[in-house]
Structure 1
């Protein structure tokens, strides 16, 4: 039986993994490229040629220095603008107030060339005074070397005469979140405000939405990559009281930080029960209980939420060997009741981990 190999006469799926490091923290973003079209699609430099003749299960990887893949950093994209150019926006009826280090859609800025009110491409707020703000519209990874691996998940012969649409795979994998979990110039992001930890209804227990089965397996697989069978592990979820006794090598939080009004206090108490070098793993998805979630969680992009948890870990002294992971656009199980509603896409999952210093 002939193997199907990557060439202009096939379509298929590629698993893209983007790895990078900043401020000593390692990050890994996984993204499933569906309906890959070797004829029309745009690949990172050198990748299309390297994939030629490869089969299912094989992969290629390239490390790209700044400007070789991610759009280069331009000083002209760092703009100091009058504060009244920042459109007044609300979320869940609450005003969105600018905060240093946070990301916002460029559509929030009035009068930018080729930018419209519904433009979601992010900018980072890097300066703020009573009269002006600084908007850095460069890509969050513009100054960071990135390694991109493409692994062939499956291939099938192209339908005769069918060429499909065009996908720019660097944009698909890198442009809608990766890099937003970092600090700006090593300074803490100004996440917190007086209402950040407010909860709409404190009188009920959190009821975290269930992840789909594929997302649960993905999160478990990420945990298994950093845990070993001999570890003493305590697992917590939104329904578990964050109190503990005994000594542990790792504590796993699954969909918990969305609902904690004193996360740093909880982590500090956890640290007292962790063995030297003990780990904290925090996993979450892209849905939450809207009646019990803290307000600040709803204000953040999903990748910024990883940055928030990193900040919690730093303040609790649990940020040793810190890492973040994301996994997006994976297949949802075909027997899942929401398969058609979600167009077969599994829930995105995110994980942050750190060690006791």
Structure 2
């Protein structure tokens, strides 16, 4: 088959581990062999040029094979005055774009603050995945024929896949300082019940993102389970046909909850006012929270309560994206890189001390559905991020 006439729709999956969790990153890739083979490793390019639909290819990437080894000489000490004027000093463990440093104007590449003492701080310029063992799996979905080649983008897909991942991990296992400077302040500190009183029967992510969330839940949840849907609404984003034992919705708006066909029961409860859950110890097999963790102003108490109402081994699952209601989102969420938000939710889990076998997931780059109201102004579907853990015995 002439590679000049091919477009290979594929999903590239990167898996890796940190001290805290196992991580899985997915990227939808419409690979163009004619334009992009030269940007790939030869073995990967050769596979994609001759791939069949439904086939897959796996490659282990040891440190230095694609990404560089971790280099200690990429740590630099700066005076605090070198950090952008008018901003707070960098927090240890956090990532920041280099353009906040004097002399790096316009450079968006992230660096990590790994130490701050006196009037100085240390910046780590290593790639967030440097020194890690990675596994790449490429799964071919469809081979498309093209009539001709008229030019267009030429992309390094492996570079795109590895841009962001790694940021969610702690630095050398140390807690990340997310919690200085009033992190849970909100633009609107008024009564949440008033803000959410008007039903919003609209989807907060597009249908492609919803399908990814449902597919994730189909892998994590089994029929017959008793599940609690925290901060629930008119959609629970569970796969159709999943016959749970029960699905209890806890949310803020009665009309939205009544419109949710998957709930077996529901109740009104404001977790920001009262994080105590009105359920017995060990009542549920799983607790889920969709597109809402960014609104929690008392997350540590909520995570402790989720652990209390879960049976040992039960899952606490959070999914989120890159959209929210600005007046009610907590300040720290808006200040973070998208992958750093995964790290924040991981930190909630780790601080609770109640969960183990932590895992994270990201899925990006999918085409936005043509029927979506934001298409074609927005080319890509909403990304999906997830973090979950098992209650310890």
TM-score, L = length of structure 2: 0.82
Q: Distance in 2 between matches of 1:163 and 1:12?
A: 16
Q: Using the TM superposition, give the Cα deviation of residue 39 of structure 1 relative to its aligned residue in structure 2, in angstroms.
A: 2.5
Indicate if the aligned counterparts of 1:11 and 1:38 stay in contact, CA closer than 8 A. Answer: yes
Match of 2:35 in 1: 40
Q: How many Å separate the matches in 2 of 1:26 and 1:219?
A: 18
> Please, which moves more after superposition, 51-60 or 136-145?
51-60
Aligned residues, how many? 341
Contact in 1 for aligned 2:33/2:49 (Cα 8 Å)? no
* Contact map agreement 2:94 2:177 (CA 8 A) in 1: yes
Alignment equivalent of 1:245, drawn from 279, 284, 291: 279
2:20/2:173 contact within 8 Å kept: no
3-state SS in 2 of match to 1:46: helix
Match of 1:109 in 2: 101
Aligned to 1:183: 170
Please name the residue that 1:127 is paired with. Answer: 115
CA deviation vs aligned residue, 1:152-178 (integer Å, no higher than 9, x gap): 222223433545432111111111x10
Question: More deviation in 237-246 or 141-150?
Answer: 237-246
Is the aligned partner of 1:218 residue 2:212? Answer: yes
TM-score normalised over the length of structure 1:
0.90
Q: CA deviation at 1:191?
A: 0.6
Does 2:66 align with 1:69? Answer: yes
Alignment CA distance shift 1:277-1:25 (3 Å): same
**Corresponding residue number in structure 2 for 1:92:** none
Query: Is residue 56 of structure 1 aligned with residue 43 of structure 2?
Result: no
Deviation, 1:196, is 0.6
How many angstroms apart in 1 are the aligned matches of 2:149 and 2:373?
A: 34
1:18 pairs, out of 14, 18, 30, with 14
CA distance in 2, matches of 1:322, 1:231: 20
- The 1:232–1:110 alpha-carbon spacing in structure 2 relative to 1, beyond 3 Å, is same
Taking the aligned partners of 1:210 and 1:318, their CA distance within structure 2 comes to 30
- Deviations 1:93-130 (Å, cap 9, x if unpaired)? xx34310000000111112xxx4x22211101111122
Which has the higher relative contact order, 1 or 2, with Cα contacts under 8 A spaced 6 or more apart? 1
**Structure 1 gaps, min length 5:** 90-94
CA distance in 1, matches of 2:319, 2:231: 10
Contact 2:4 2:149 in 1 (8 A): no
Task: Name the CA shift for 1:87/1:131 in 2 (closer, same or farther; >3 Å).
Answer: same
Whether the 8 Å contact between 1:212 and 1:332 is mirrored in structure 2 is: yes
Q: CA deviation at 1:6?
A: 8.2
Q: Distance in 2 between matches of 1:170 and 1:72?
A: 17
Q: Which residue of 2 aligns with 1:229?
A: 223
Bigger fraction of residues in helix = 2
Going from structure 1 to structure 2, the CA distance change for 1:96 and 1:348 (only over 3 Å counts) comes to farther
- The match for 1:324 among 350, 357, 360 is 360
1:150 and 2:175 matched = no
* RMSD (Å) for aligned C-alpha atoms: 2.0
Aligned equivalent of 1:295: 331
- Distance, in Å, in 2 between the alignment partners of 1:161 and 1:329 is 22
Deviation at 1:131, TM superposition (A): 2.0
The list of structure 1 runs, each at least 4 consecutive aligned residues, that deviate by more than 4 angstroms after superposition, is 206-209
